[in-house]
Amino acid sequence: MEETYFAFIDEAGNENLNTKIDGVSDFFIITAVLVPESGLELAKRLSNSLRNTHFQTGEIKSSTISNKHTKRIKILQDIEMINIKYITFIVDKNKIDKTGGLGFKKVFRKYLPGILYQDLFKTYKNLTIISDEHGSREFMKSVEQYVGSKTTPSLLPEENYIFSFKSSKDEILIQIADFIAGTWAKIVDKRIPIEIRNEFKNVIRSTALSIEFWPPSHESFYSDTHTPDHLDKIIRNYCYTQAQIYIEANTPKSMESTEDGLEERLRVEILKFLLLNNEIFDDEKFAYSDKIIKHLKTKGIENLNRRRLAAQGISILRRRNVIISSGKYGYKLPTKLSDIEEFVSTSHEKIVPMLERITDAYQQINKVSHLRINILGDHPELITLVKALQDHKIESSGNTTDTN
């Protein structure tokens, strides 16, 4: 039986969609701090030690630190030492239709956290969720019923999960979730200098399992950290849009426990990771296959190796109009022209020598068989490519001049 995990959940921001009003946040942020049952006691002990050091007898709260940026960095560094991981769900309220159902507080409070809960349910087969209390007892009870109704029994049998509310005063790891959510509220706040936001992000990303932005968008939350030219911006926007279109279209399928559903989940999670890698983890560097595989395993995807990653993941995504660059340093969602150039260059190094070997074999067999054997007969595309390569060599040879 798989180990039980505990998810401690808290939020930053509020549900009001009228962000023009003073005091209404632009973002609503939910963080789930994840701890295996075997590490729960140690995580609580270390968290209490952190609280005693930085908050004395009070709760660990992001709002207490407010804009004391140096102190926040120190606390984040101490959180790194606790045996936890976390998932954060960031809702951009300015991109939500204010006339729709999410304009109602109760709908907002159920639906958006529910997206995070479903992600947790897909990943952990034995899970206890403990959320900070909010609203009336009746409302919290209705949330518990709502979560239960949205759980897919085939993914997570009822006896294997528990959902409840608890006051943050009585649960130290909810306080840790508060601090992480509050820090992400700072990271996406463009009123704060980008150097400070980047410092927060660089410290807090080491314990992140995933950071998901909602609603999906091709726009970067960190666009002001880059200075792309016009062509780079075209590439970023198109590639991000294609990735988001794929994620949105195939997420429902990825929730199914069928074989096809599990394969689709692999592809959806690959794209989510590549977006995450660009935005959070490695500042737009290529990601090695082993790093992607390691991350996907934390999302509950097993029996994964480089061959399956390439064949069932990357190759199929490319055939479905998602552009993924690959190079000597791994895979990447392109954000600039040089990413595409790297992809083309690396592919050229592989494709042209392979095509030349096929051409050589084709010519030799033609010769020894006196044109009676055509090894390319069932592959018309290869015939076209081989002839094009031959024509190119003839043309290149003809354009060469003797300098002697």
Give domain limits for the chain. 5-214, 223-335, 350-395
Mean pLDDT over 244-272 rounds to: 91
172 sits in which H/E element: helix 172-187
More confidently predicted of 14 and 182: 182
For residue 233, what pLDDT is reported? 85
Predicted TM-score of the model (pTM): 0.79
CA distances 8 to 115, 153, 367, Å, are: 15, 22, 72
Backbone angles phi, psi at 321, to 5 degrees: 75, 20
Query: Percent of the chain at pLDDT above 90?
Result: 45
For residue 200, what pLDDT is reported? 94
CATH superfamily of 5-214: Ribonuclease H-like superfamily/Ribonuclease H (3.30.420.10)
Would you call 167 exposed, middle or buried from its count of C-beta atoms within 10 A (0-12, 13-18, 19+)? exposed
**How far apart, in whole angstroms, are the C-alpha atoms of residue 41 and residue 35?**
10
Amino acid in position 153: P
Task: For residue 257, give the DSSP letter.
Answer: -
Q: What is the distance between the terminal CA atoms of the chain, rounded to a whole angstrom?
A: 78
Mean pLDDT over 228-241 rounds to: 85
Task: For residue 3, give the DSSP letter.
Answer: P
Q: In what order do the strands lie in the sheet with 85-92?
A: 161-166, 127-132, 5-12, 27-36, 85-92, 208-214
Backbone angles phi, psi at 25, to 5 degrees: -75, 150
Reply yes or no on whether the pLDDT at 263 is more than 70. Answer: yes
Q: Which of 155, 277, 264 is nearest to 210 (CA)?
A: 277
For residue 328, what pLDDT is reported? 82
**β-pairing, 161-166 with 127-132?**
parallel
Do 46 and 82 touch, CB atoms closer than 8 A?
A: yes
Categorize the per-residue pLDDT at 316 as very low, low, confident or very high, splitting at 50, 70 and 90.
very high
Reply yes or no on whether the pLDDT at 333 is more than 80. Answer: yes
Burial 345-381 (b: 16+ CB within 10 A, else e): eeeeeeeeeeeeebbeebeeeeeeeeeeeeebeeeee
Q: Which of 269, 263, 259, 278 is nearest to 205 (CA)?
A: 278
**How far apart, in whole angstroms, are the C-alpha atoms of residue 102 and residue 80?**
35
Categorize the per-residue pLDDT at 225 as very low, low, confident or very high, splitting at 50, 70 and 90.
very low
